[in-house]
Amino acid sequence: MLAAHRGARAPSGLTLFSPHASLGPMALSAAELKRYFSQVYGHPAAGVVRAPGRVNLIGEHTDYNDGFVLPIAIERQTLAAYAPRADRTIRLASRQQRRAEASFYLDGPIRRARPKWANYPMGVAAGLIAHGAELAGRDILFDSDVPIGGGLSSSASLEVAAALAMLTGTGSRVDDYQLALICQKAEHDFVGAPCGIMDQAIAVMGRAGRAMLLDCRDGSARQIPFDDPHLVILVADTKVKHDLTDGDYAARRAQCHAATDKLDLKTLRYADEATVLAGADKLTEKELMRARHVVGEIERTVRAVDALVAGDHAEFGRLMYASHASLRDDYQVSCPELDRIVELARPLRDVYGARMTGGGFGGCAIILVRADQADRIGRAVTEGFAAAFGHPCVVFATRAASGAGVVC
């Protein structure tokens, strides 16, 4: 059996590890988290909010080029239980960071601090206050089954869950896209990760049974039905860790911007392949490769939406493979483990397409498959991966889940 998101749960306080069935410790239910909150803080929680992780179906490394992306929210999420405090302090604890609790004062200057994980909620608080939100003292306890640093946007789900835990019940309201921008800025300013807007936007704006076509030029979103009961997405985790702060991601952004300047464009969104090729002699070889990926990927994303709407899953799958090849060869953000998963999946019956998802250099690949064949396909990929690398990759199935919200 592949991991069902809400499969066997560990009793409160315990973690279950099963290499085939789980990407990490199971998250608690909202009721369990509330009980755990009382143990940690010594008083009851007032409520629980949630924000999901994501996979991107197609449209990779296009968000910071004003392009299109097509992510879904997944059935893995960060929960945050919270309760008001009488003072102006925010206290933070996490089930994943048991020895690293943190607190900060809402009226002081909020600055980067240690522990590292606390910078995400602190950055969000700073952004909300700058936006004019009236925050009040709170105790907050996080729990997540989005694997940390696994390429499924654990950071964005933490940021958005933190935002809701601080906003809910205060009377302050922030528009969805504005909230995503505030969370993105927190990651830039407090963590040093120069991410685009995709992860935070889908965590806030995702809908169950929908893939979200986001136009990163203006923040407008179109919700595309992605609820065919015969389809499921398999997520295969290489367990190769990569951090957006380590320079490779920033280098790709810089190459795109250099190409944009040399081609005299506002952004690569305003170019197509012909424009890029016509200006090829102005670009370095790497800039040409990066620009070619971006303009091709933006076009593939638009075509993928047409294929999805038409129910043409074979075409959607072909575009996924083409996206992967472009990310591997022109954008150079894949790795042997991701390539292997795609190649293991490709010849299998009832696989429509596969590709790396997210920033790359590790993290996860996704495979679009017939739902009733997901177990067989997942097993074959895991076993093939183990034969190549000496350890299995972890596979779980997901459908499109809803964006962030109040649980109770």
Quote the strand ranges of 204-284, DSSP E: 210-215, 220-225, 231-237
Of the candidates 66, 143, 145, 199, the residue annotated as catalytic is 199
- Applying CB under 6 A, does 120 fall inside the site for ligand GLA? no
- Applying CB under 6 A, does 64 fall inside the site for ligand GLA? yes
Minimum distance of ligand GLA from residue 266's CB (angstroms): 18
Using the minimum distance from each CB to ligand GLA, give the nearer residue, 7 or 192: 192
| Catalytic site includes residue 199 | yes
- Applying CB under 6 A, does 199 fall inside the site for ligand GLA? yes
Q: Which residue in 63, 139, 237, 337 binds ligand GLA (CB under 6 A)?
A: 63
Using the minimum distance from each CB to ligand GLA, give the nearer residue, 93 or 298: 298
- Applying CB under 6 A, does 147 fall inside the site for ligand GLA? no
Which residue's entry shows tokens 């295969």?
Answer: 236
User: DSSP string of 7-41?
Assistant: -S-PPTT-----TTT-SSSPPPPHHHHHHHHHHHH
Token pair for 12: 């409160």
CA 183, CA 204: separation in Å to the nearest integer? Answer: 10
Residue type, 202: I
Site string for ligand GLA, 158-197 (x = CB under 6 A): -------------------------------------xx-
| Residue 24 backbone class (left: φ over 0; alpha: ψ -120 to 50; beta: rest) | left
For residue 113, give the DSSP letter: -
Minimum distance of ligand GLA from residue 359's CB (angstroms): 3
Q: Which residue in 26, 32, 33, 60 binds ligand GLA (CB under 6 A)?
A: 60
Which residue's entry shows tokens 């040399």?
Answer: 262
Q: Which residue in 47, 67, 121, 358 binds ligand GLA (CB under 6 A)?
A: 358
- β-sheet with 231-237: strand ranges across: 351-357, 364-370, 231-237, 394-398
Q: Which residue in 67, 353, 359, 403 binds ligand GLA (CB under 6 A)?
A: 359
Which residue's entry shows tokens 């560990």?
Answer: 10
Using the minimum distance from each CB to ligand GLA, give the nearer residue, 251 or 280: 251
CA 331, CA 338: separation in Å to the nearest integer? Answer: 14
Tell me the catalytic residues.
199
Q: Please give the residue ranges that form the binding site for ligand GLA (CB under 6 A).
A: 56, 60-61, 63-64, 195-196, 198-199, 244, 358-359
